[in-house]
Amino acid sequence: MYKLIAIDMDGTLLKDDKTISKENFDAIQRARKNNVKVVLATGRPVKGIEKYLKELNLIGEDEYAVTFNGAVVQTTTGNHIMAKTLMTLEDLHYLYNLSKELKVNIHAHTTEECITPKSSKYSVLEAELNSIPLTEIDFDNLNENTTIVKVMFIDDEKTLDRVIKALPKDIYEKYTIMRSMPYFLEFLNKNANKGTGVKLLSEKLGIKQNEIICAGDADNDKHMLKYAGLGVAMGNASDNIKEIANFTTKTNEEDGIAYVIDKFIFNKDI
């Protein structure tokens, strides 16, 4: 029996208009009543998913979220951090210098805000998407106690295509690197990813690996799909994610999460 389902947000739980369908909402509530722990696993900070947590009734000291692509695992109220895998200022300065060399925009997340040496429409979008402050600040003069959760190269799709090809080969040994959207390239601590986040949470909750479902659609979901007892790709997922998955469900526009819950948690013949 599955006891935990970790669900990605954009392109998975959310429809293209960023809403949760009634079918997905109802299925999640049925799973919760059946003592299945429902966890949102996202690249966003907890502030960026707060309205969805409230909508799904997932606010509480015994409710959890995997945020910042697994760098932070926390309760959904009280902001009690159960596990964190952060970056250093040295990482930020290295990536900042690289961004100048590659001529690409950059910003970083602290636990409270998005910071950037030069604001762009992509940083504005990130701040608005996550309901967090955006602060323009010189990265060379940051307070030494600044907490860096993740760093992002942010630019138009063609620019990021070029930048990815030009990245130093050894950079993949230093960081977890993922393209979460066409215009977002994320750098995290080498040990941080959604799979690690789900693993840390499940161990604290005493839930076995084979009792976990993870569902997603994009590159930043691959680690948790590999870790899960049942890794689920959305019908709209990229081909490499479908290859990793144990099962491909319907698309995010076709209530794919509800389909998974009904089929694998309630064993409905659908």
pLDDT of residue 110: 94
Please report how many Cα atoms fall inside a 13 Å half-sphere around the Cα of residue 155, on the Cβ side.
Answer: 16
Kindly tell me if the per-residue pLDDT of 270 is higher than 80: no
CATH number of the domain at 32, please: 3.40.50.1000
Reported for 132-140, long-range contacts at CB under 8 A and 24+ positions apart, including other chains, are 132/45, 132/47, 132/48, 134/107, 139/92, 139/93, 139/96, 139/108, 139/115, 140/93, 140/96
Do 9 and 129 sit in the same domain of this protein?
Answer: no
Domain encompassing residue 210: 4-84+192-265
Do 80 and 196 sit in the same domain of this protein?
Answer: yes
Do 9 and 132 sit in the same domain of this protein?
Answer: no
86: left (phi over 0), alpha (psi -120 to 50) or beta: beta
CATH number of the domain at 154, please: 3.30.1240.10
Which two three-digit tokens encode residue 232? 């689920």
In this predicted model, what pLDDT tens digit does every residue of 254-266 receive, in sequence order?
A: 999 999 999 999 9
Task: For residue 176, give the nearest of 151, 205, 201 by alpha carbon.
Answer: 151
80 vs 13: which has the higher pLDDT: 13
In this predicted model, what pLDDT tens digit does every residue of 103-150 receive, in sequence order?
A: 999 999 998 899 999 999 999 999 998 999 999 999 999 999 999 999
pLDDT of residue 80: 86
Do 98 and 183 sit in the same domain of this protein?
Answer: yes
Chain center to CA of 220: 7
Give how many domains the chain has, as a whole number.
2
* Domain boundary pick from 189, 221, 249: 189
In this predicted model, what pLDDT tens digit does every residue of 160-218 receive, in sequence order?
A: 999 999 999 999 999 999 998 899 999 999 999 999 999 999 999 999 999 999 999 99
pTM for the complete prediction? 0.87
Backbone dihedral angles phi then psi of residue 112, each to the nearest 5 degrees: -115, -25
In this predicted model, what pLDDT tens digit does every residue of 70-95 receive, in sequence order?
A: 999 999 987 788 889 999 999 999 99
Do 248 and 223 sit in the same domain of this protein?
Answer: yes
Task: For residue 67, give the nearest of 118, 132, 125 by alpha carbon.
Answer: 132
Which two three-digit tokens encode residue 32? 């919760």
Rounded Cα distance between 15 and 9, Å, is 9
Q: Is 13 in contact with 40 (CB distance < 8 Å)?
A: yes
Do 179 and 230 sit in the same domain of this protein?
Answer: no
Residue numbers annotated as active site: 8
The owner of tokens 């696993």 is 41
Q: How many CB atoms lie within 10 A of CB 80?
A: 11
Q: What is the CA radius of gyration of the chain?
A: 18
Backbone dihedral angles phi then psi of residue 212, each to the nearest 5 degrees: -115, 135
Average pLDDT score over the chain: 95
pLDDT of residue 129: 87
Do 216 and 254 sit in the same domain of this protein?
Answer: yes
